[in-house]
Homo-oligomer: A and B are copies of this chain.
Amino acid sequence: MRTQHPKSYLYEHVARIGKALSNPKRLELVELLAQGEKSVETLSAQAGIDMRLTSAHLKALREARLVETRRDGRYVHYRLSGPDVSHLWVSLREVAEEHLVELRLALTQMVSEPDSLSSESRESLLHKARQGEVFVIDVRPLSEYDAGHLPFARSMPLAELEKRLADLPQDRTIVAYCRGPFCLMSDEAVKLLRAKGFIAKKISDGVSEWAASGLPIET
């Protein structure tokens, strides 16, 4: 990091952020943390990464000041250092989607229900949700819903969905969302709901994408 030329010293610091975002596992951790504060154990389990490796990657993210920690008993809870970090993750992902054909291809193959939201349709969704024309459900775990969710959304975790079908309307469109474009929980929810006779669709937005487009998040 020592340099004779003072100017390249500036770029070296920015590169620290880039380096932190240069690893797929770290990006997955950032995306999970964008859903709310989580312990190392939870991150390890949700990302499917060995806890010791998870801890090592979190250390790298902390050294780049992208995450902060809080100890609570045996648990250490990690969180993003600010909303700008989740916004950066969204921008990075959008540039990748825009320019890397392979990524777009992989996405269309994996995601059974492609439904991107343009800025207009976000506004119109908000309007319909406010009017009660659609029923928006958040299929992430409850703790993530509590950490922040779309306006007018109800928590309906994927794991509990089948048991709680009675809480859902049969005459209106149900709109499901989860963690973002890479998350498949909303796809599974739509598949299940349609099999049960509901009118359901998904949006690819998560709270990060929603917030990055300038719209409000509820807590």
A residues engaging B (CB < 8 A)? 5-28, 31, 48, 64-66, 81-82, 84-85, 87-88, 91-96, 98-100, 102-103, 106-107, 110, 182, 184
Closest B residue to A90 by beta carbon equals B91
- Bound CA–CA A209/B14 (angstroms): 16
Asked if B13 contacts A100 (CB within 8 A), the reply is yes
Minimum CB–CB distance for A78 against chain B, Å: 15
- The binding surface of chain A is classed by DSSP as helix
- Bound CA–CA A101/B28 (angstroms): 26
Asked if B84 contacts A14 (CB within 8 A), the reply is no
Closest B residue to A6 by beta carbon equals B110
Q: Which residues of B contact A15 (CB under 8 A)?
A: 21-24, 26-27
- Bound CA–CA A23/B21 (angstroms): 12
Asked if B27 contacts A99 (CB within 8 A), the reply is no
**Partner among B16, B21, B28, B94 whose Cβ is within 8 Å of the Cβ of A8:** B28
Q: A7-B110, A10-B103, A84-B95 are in contact. List 7 more A-B contacts (CB 8 A).
A: A10-B107, A13-B96, A13-B103, A15-B26, A21-B21, A21-B22, A22-B22
The 8 A-B pairs at the shortest CB distance, nearest first, are namely A18-B21, A11-B24, A65-B99, A13-B103, A18-B22, A19-B22, A22-B22, A14-B96
